[in-house]
Structure 1
Amino acid sequence: TKHTSCLESCVSSETGIPVSDCDILLYSLIEWKTESKVVKTEPSLTSDLSYKAGRSFFGGEKWVSAYFVLEDGLLYQYKTKNATKPDHCYIIEEEISSVERGVTSADFSVILRTGSRINLRASDDDNAKSWIEAIASFIQSYSSTAEYPVNCSLVIATKRLFICHEDHSTGFCRCLSHVQLSEVTHVEMNYETHFCCVYFKQCSPMQKPSSSKACNWQLQFPSAQHCEQFENTMKDCCYSISFNRLTTS
């Protein structure tokens, strides 16, 4: 199906394994308890913006029009408003460090953590101000270290566990974190509350965004049936993982 193909492409891009070898063994919607605070703008901020794309043939600045969407802590760039898939998707918490005003009141720049910048131009001063304030608000909201549940999906494929963010309106899928099954030591599950905690051999930055001390994933499944499917798939993939069932009493 189209959804499966999207997941396989996401797994392939993270692992370098050909799409044809990325068999999806398990897919489940989950809540991931993480320090990543994902908040929403209501309504989402959308508009046509121009981005600076180097120099033109005659040496002047080259500006290209595109359609931008800001929602759920993500900044999307589409070719046009009617495009079904984004050309770029930036996770604000992980990839964007700040936003700055430009030379003119309609210009502003999004500064990436890599040091590069995306130079943007709005239609007018008010539109630029709205974008600057909205992006800055997202950046500021991530300064808290409290834990928040994030709606995402759990995927088992290519002997790895993946936590992905999906935009079902566009079909866009992006991996938020992944870990080798061989790094999992044991799993605690509560079938009554549908809660699960996956423990790793060692703490790693790859195992939770924005945290160098993450030694486990805390997951909330929709039902006991999803818990059972996860446990059975994990056992089939890796016999060395031990499971401990918890009770609320």
Structure 2
Amino acid sequence: MALTNAYVLPTNRIGDILGKIRDGQAPERFTQQLLKDWGFSSTNDRAFIGLLKALGFLTPDGKPTQRYNDYRDHSRSRVVLGEALRDAYGDIFLIKEHPSPADRASITGKFKSFHNVSDHVAGLMTKTFLGLLQHADLSGKASVAPTEEVIAGKRLSSRSASSSRRAAPGGAGPRRAGTVLTAASCMWLRRTRDFIGVQCGVNSTTKCDTPHSPNNRCYGFACTTRFDLTQG
């Protein structure tokens, strides 16, 4: 499982920044200057970038991921955030499937023991988690975030019937595991969301924009290279 150590001090502004993400256009890169343009000018606000990376909204170099764009859909933003919390704070959900502020003591204890931090820092991590939790829906799954079992081979093969009617660059169509995709094909699959949910193996040459999530799903593919779907 996983348990991020990212936290922010202005937890009262978590809702504000999530609102900016939902309502605005995804930037080419999420920077400190963008935070300032949004009204987050305090040095403490810079920690939001690290938090968004931990949630899988941004790549390590600050580029918005597919999850970032999925969150911008108001109709499912809460569910998308719920899945992000399960990925980033997996160990918390081992304590309680549906944690709440009433579980603050046990959550703080988990942060303290897992990261070997002081009570104060563990409290800040807990406050950040609970601040995010109130904006999330843990009851369902986002339609674009398949379960671990719904990996590329299964996901793509289910669309084989309709693929013959769709033109794609480089002859892209349903792809089985082991298929090497060109950049053009990858871009097409990304647009049609056939490429979401690819499970990366240890020896896979698939390149992810973000680190693997605990269930080995990849979000936000870098479509500038070739991809080898090695598992399925």
* TM bin (shorter chain): under 0.3
TM-score, normalised on structure 1?
0.25
Q: Which has the higher helix share?
A: 2
Tell me which structure has the larger Cα radius of gyration: 1
> What's the TM-score, normalizing by structure 2?
0.26
